[in-house]
Structure 1
Amino acid sequence: MTHKSNQSFLGLREKLVEKYQHTGIIVPAAPEKSISALTKTKLNSADEEHNSNEVVDKRARDLQRFLRRIARHPKLVTDCDFRDFITMDGELPKAAFTSALSGSSMKKMFKSFGDVFSKIAFPMDENDRWFEQVHSQVDELDELMGRLLAGIDQLVVGRKGMTIGQDQFSKALSMLASCEENTSLARTLSKLAETHENLAMVGKHMTQEDSSILLETIQEHMALTNVLKEVFYERVKAWQNWQNQVQLLNKKREVKTRHELAGNTDRANQYKNELTDCENKVDQMEKDFQNMSNIIRKEFKRNCQQRREDIKEALLRYIESLIESEKQTLEQWEKFQHEVKS
């Protein structure tokens, strides 16, 4: 499915968010294009085509992870838009927020700012101890995963630098061997150059494993953590709407009482009907808020379980890759030793 355009993936995610996120369901974040990587890809020369391929391959893996994450969700996997996305050819409607800043997108932007200010002006009185603890856990998890991601990124950069160094060292040894007059020494230098060239290939493969297994797995779960925060905020908005309706109900009750005390029976009866509708809305909003809270609890537990499974699987794959890399390194040096002694 990765042959579809980037905006089709964003459009799918936008539809799922619109339908499910306000209910408490975690909709995986669609990977966005890296502007810096895209710029490098467009500016690459023919000699650097492999760098461009790396960007494309990573993009494909990210999109595949996004689709697999949706397919693993018991609710999202049955969604008609997701089914159409994976079964129908051609482009689906594009995401509205990826287009230019139209009037509707500007309204959405200012609406988001309004939500933020509303949250500040009308803070939620959290009475659920579970949510208080989870908020702290998620913030701490986000910070720790950020540190882990930075460490893995340094590992990738360091191994890539070592691989480049080995490749350059191999070329230098090869040039030195071609200039060496002593046949035996020239042969040894040539074999050593070949060994370092092969080790550079092993290192390049491990650099790819560092990125595709470790780095991208942590990036995916950091994105899910951010989505979880968005879901928590949806719950805050649901609580605010409920409390606003409660305040409106209290005001209507006060007005009805004043009319009754003033002897305005007709006006009092009119507010009686309005009070009934308002009370029904309050009851429904309270019910929706409780249902949303229960769904978030289930989603959080499911997300934690999947994170443990994914990271465990990634670490096992990475350890196996490391072991294989060390075996190949040992084989190269044993081969060099045998050829030098023979």
Structure 2
Amino acid sequence: MEPESEPKYVAVSPGCLTSGHSSLLSPLSPDALQFDEDDDLEVFSKGAALSDGNSFSPLMLASPSSMINQYKFEDEPDVKDIFVTVDEPESHVNAIETFITYRIATKTSRSQFDSCEFEVRRRYQDFLWLKSRLEDAHPTLIIPPLPEKFIVRGMVERFTEEFIETRRKALHKFLNRIADHPTLTFNEDFKIFLTAQAWELTSHKKQGPGLFSRMGQTIKAVASSVRGIKNRPDEFTELGEYVDAFSQKINVLDKISQRIYKEQKGYYEGLKEYGPVHTLWSASEEELVDSLKGMANCIDKCCKVTDTLNLKLSGELIPIIHEYVLYSETLSGVFKKRDQIQAEYDYKVEASINKKADNTDNLKEEIEKLEDKVECANNALKADWERWKQNMQSDLSATFTNMAENRISHYEECLALWESFLSSQTCDFQMDTKE
């Protein structure tokens, strides 16, 4: 197969890097997390404007040196044997579309890889392919979620560097969740995704399940839902109820967190206007000059502290909560697949009891295979569930703890600023009294 032609690069500045790791820690706006499953800005008209002042800033798009370099890989081979980095987004243009690709850099010591380092470029659709293949190969494992499709609504200008950076971070986390998973990390499609060149990956994509195969799976899923599950183990019923409750709570928490951020953003914008008013006022009040300027200075410093808090809220809390909103949807899908496998087994057993089948020997063989399939599915889900739950509790606990510390720090700094202002005013008042 001939390699596909290399797309034309636009709005690229590989050599323009931010210092340190600031781009990796840059905040995520909740506006960049407003998604809609029906729309996608991954592909849009070639004629769409990409060069407006808010889009594709080289300082935002170009990442610092690969995160791989932050790890002392040689010093801890027994701890982790594969490192994956997603960085350096680039805009591509061809005759049909404009799209974004990301550099995927991999460093590994695993013997099944032909080399210890790989570097490829992937677009969002390639990540969708990988997720789909993992779901097909491991139907009852909890596959990490991908960032959702971005809402278009005719507003191309929303395809900004902030959205690209938000997506880059989410894709980076997606691949590293897979790399850290004890089963998914050894999936052959994951290896192909990390190592194959673009034309090779295109060839592998064509080897996926055909249309009729996918239609058959859909028909089975619908049939299972119609028949229902009569013999679901109690433990999976309880897990399903837990997932439903978790989904409701995390969705509410996601909405409230974003609303709080918007309110705090409004408070910050108000502070930005509030301080300068005192400075302007001081020009016409000679006796209040020091007090007014002191107020303006205090408000200005509180404004900066509040902005820092908002950045931490949008960069540390909201993305984690939203990721687990997506995880709750994944969990619901996994439980449905488990039920689908059991429903197929129950149907065959019922058919055998009612002697509806002509060839009972073949039916018994099918039942034995389906029984093994159900047992494997149950064991895989139970093991992955425990792993996921531990990770979830650890992630959310750390996130809430950090946010509590950030809140305390914010209020302590603001309190210190206002106490300093009050102290200065008390001293001035005492001096005026003595005079």
TM > 0.5 fold call = yes
Q: In 2, Cα distance between the equivalents of 1:140 and 1:299?
A: 19
Shift of 1:171: 3.1
- d(CA) in 2 for partners of 1:250, 1:140: 37
Identity between Structure 1 and Structure 2 (%): 20
- Partner in structure 1 of residue 132 of structure 2: 14
How many angstroms apart in 1 are the aligned matches of 2:155 and 2:424? 42
Cα distance in 2 between the residues matched to 1:208 and 1:105 = 45
Note the C-alpha offset of 1:126.
2.8
TM-score, normalization by structure 1? 0.76
Alignment of 1:151-300 (within 5 A): 151-177=256-282, 180-183=283-286, 185-246=288-349, 249=352, 255=358, 274-300=359-385
Query: What's the offset of the Cα at 1:293?
Result: 1.0
Q: How does 1:32-71 map to 2 (within 5 A)?
A: 32-35=148-151, 42=157, 52-71=160-179
Q: Which amino acid aligns with 1:66?
A: F
Aligned residues: 304
What is the CA–CA distance in structure 1 between the aligned matches of 2:308 and 2:211, rounded to whole Å?
Answer: 43
Contact 1:10–1:94 (Cα < 8 Å) also in 2: no
Establish whether residue 131 from structure 1 lines up as the match of residue 247 from structure 2.
Answer: no
Cα distance in 2 for residues equivalent to 1:106 and 1:279: 27
Q: Which residue of 2 aligns with 1:323?
A: 408
Q: TM-score, normalised by structure 2?
A: 0.61
Call closer, same or farther: CA 1:109–1:39 in 2, change over 3 Å. farther
1:105–1:281 distance in 2 versus 1, CA, 3 Å:
closer
Greater CA drift, 301-310 or 165-174: 165-174
Deviation at 1:40, TM superposition (A): 6.0
- Map residues 302-341 of structure 1 onto 2, 5 A cutoff: 302-337=387-422
The structure with the largest alpha-carbon Rg is 1
| Paired position in structure 2 for 1:28 | 144
Question: CA, structure 1 residues 109+194, in 2 after alignment: closer, same or farther (shift >3 Å)?
Answer: farther
Amino acid of the structure 2 residue aligned with 1:170: G
Looking at secondary structure, tell me which structure has more helix per residue: 1
Shift of 1:284: 0.8
The C-alpha deviation readout for 1:101-150, integer Å capped at 9, x for no partner, is xxx779958964x4564234211113411112111111111112222222
Answer whether contact 2:295 2:421 (CA < 8 A) is retained: yes
Q: Does 1:141 align with 2:246?
A: yes
Corresponding residue number in structure 2 for 1:79: 187
- Greater RCO structure (CA 8 Å; 6+ sep): 1
The letter of the residue matching 1:146 is: N
Q: Is the 8 A contact 2:348 2:363 kept in 1?
A: yes
Q: Tell me how far 1:335 sits from its aligned partner.
A: 4.9
Amino acid at match of 1:60: R
Instruction: Read off the aligned partner of 2:240 and give its amino acid letter.
Output: H
Residue 168 and residue 60 in structure 1: after superposition, are their counterparts in 2 closer, same or farther (change >3 A)? farther
Give the letter for the 2:295 counterpart: L
Superposed CA deviations along residues 18-71 of structure 1, whole A, max 9, x for unmatched, are 2112xx1111111113316x9767159xxxxxxx55434433332233223223
SS in 2 for 1:35: coil
Q: Is there any run of 5+ residues in structure 1 with no aligned partner, and where?
A: 45-51, 97-103, 256-273
Q: Give yes or no for contact 1:11–1:94 (8 Å, CA) kept in 2.
A: no
Alignment RMSD (CA, Å): 3.3
**Contact map agreement 2:232 2:339 (CA 8 A) in 1:** no
Gaps of 5+ in 2: 1-85, 90-101, 103-122, 429-435
Q: Which of the two has greater strand per residue?
A: 2
